[in-house]
Amino acid sequence: MSEKLPRVPAHKIITLLKRKGFTCVRQSGSHKIFKNDAGIRVTVPDHAGKILHPKITKQICKDAGINPDELM
């Protein structure tokens, strides 16, 4: 993961999480909490149309077990 992560909006990460088997279990303000069958929990800040900071994208990928190459 030494390459730069792509700058993506939250809706792209949410789509990828849903393809990986995560479902939105609740929402607290603008933060959506996703969970999969294994009990892994991922929080995604969903601010309308805003692009996620690379550090947040990196943490979401790490928590969900997503390869950053899948974002492209």
Ordered structural domains, the chain, with CATH: 10-71 (3.30.920.30)
1: confidence class by pLDDT, cuts 50, 70, 90: very low
Question: When comparing pLDDT for 70 and 44, which is higher?
Answer: 44
Note the Cα 20 to chain centre separation in Å. 11
State pLDDT tens for residues 5-58: 889 999 999 999 999 999 999 999 999 999 999 999 999 999 988 999 999 999
pTM of the predicted model, to two decimals? 0.88
Count CB neighbours of 5 within 10 A: 17
